[in-house]
């Protein structure tokens, strides 16, 4: 039981890292932007939802969470101030 939860957490971490690495050029949050606070909030909520899904034994929802997070971040239209 504990081993499977650890496995799910590892898979979720790898998935999140892989997607972040491949999409970093598409969406990023500059330090000085109008949407930085919203970006940080979205990221925190996404991380919490993924951890909850993994620890509750429902890892099949993680791809949907990731898709929604990606859409929400793109909707922020982050741009540096200047």
Give per-residue pLDDT as tens, 40-50: 899 999 999 99
Three-class secondary structure of residue 78 per DSSP: coil
Bridge partners of 33, per DSSP, are 80
Bridge partners of 46, per DSSP, are none
* Residues written for the chain: 82
pTM exceeds 0.85, yes or no: no
Long-range contacts of 45-51 (CB under 8 A, 24+ apart): 50/12, 50/16, 51/9, 51/12
Q: What is the DSSP letter of 19?
A: H
Give per-residue pLDDT as tens, 18-59: 666 555 544 554 556 667 788 889 999 999 999 999 888 888
Residue 6: per-residue pLDDT: 75
């Amino acid at each position: 039981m504990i081993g499977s939860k650890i496995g799910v957490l590892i898979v979720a971490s790898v998935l999140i890292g892989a997607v972040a690495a491949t999409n970093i050029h598409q969406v990023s949050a500059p330090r000085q932007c109008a949407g930085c606070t919203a970006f940080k909030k979205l990221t925190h909520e996404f991380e919490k939802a993924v951890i909850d899904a993994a620890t509750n034994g429902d890892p099949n929802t993680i791809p949907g969470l990731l898709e929604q997070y990606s859409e929400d971040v793109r909707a922020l239209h982050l741009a540096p101030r200047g």
